[in-house]
Amino acid sequence: MWERTITIGSAGKTFSVTGWKLGWSIGPYHLIKHLQTVQQNSLYTCATPLQEALAQAFWTDMKRMDDPECYFNSLPKELEVKRDRMAHLLESVGLKPVVPDGGYFIIADVSLLDADLSDMKNSNEPYDYKFVKWMTKNKKLSAIPVSAFCNKETKLQFEKFVRFCFIKKDSTLDAAEEIIKAWSRQKS
């Protein structure tokens, strides 16, 4: 697919440094030349020290790709443990997680919970918005409504799903686990 694909990467996603607005594109010249024109006329600044740091990070880990401590080898293993932990916790309260093969987020179907959202004001909001507000207020647990990423035509298809981030410190996941265990005991 090389001849018809541009691969776009980001330091924030690749190295878990959210906020580093630094990325790259790789692809065949006949596609990249157009992207270069857009980039040249739309980006006016970037943090040069971040460019150097990113280059050094790539250089360091490219030289140790066969080493288990290489970031590109260790991060997926770390994330898999956190993802599996989050999936188990969500299942324990009746949520149906959609377990991803990669990434930082897990989406869960909340439709089986039958949460009483009657005290949530704005009834025009999609269900997932109301559910996330209810969960934050009543369970002290935070998530993102999936319909926030949808256009008007597809919001209804996804309003029973919420998105949880699992690339968190263990102490944050421990706190979430305590909240979810308490929630699970309330349901029993």
Strands 7-10 and 105-109: unpaired
Structure tokens of 186? 């309330």
Kindly report the pTM of this predicted structure. Answer: 0.78
Structural domains of the chain in order of their starting residue, each with its CATH number: 2-63 (no CATH), 72-186 (3.90.1150.10)
Q: Are 62 and 44 in contact (CB under 8 A)?
A: no
With a CB cutoff of 8 Å and minimum separation 6, the contacts of 69 are: none
Q: Please give the chain's pLDDT, 188 residues, in tens.
A: 999 999 998 888 888 888 888 888 999 999 999 988 888 887 767 788 988 999 999 999 999 999 998 999 999 999 999 999 999 999 988 888 999 998 889 999 988 877 778 777 767 889 899 999 989 988 899 999 999 999 989 999 999 999 999 999 999 999 998 988 887 777 65
The DSSP 8-state label assigned to residue 68 in this structure reads T
| β partners of residue 98 | 107
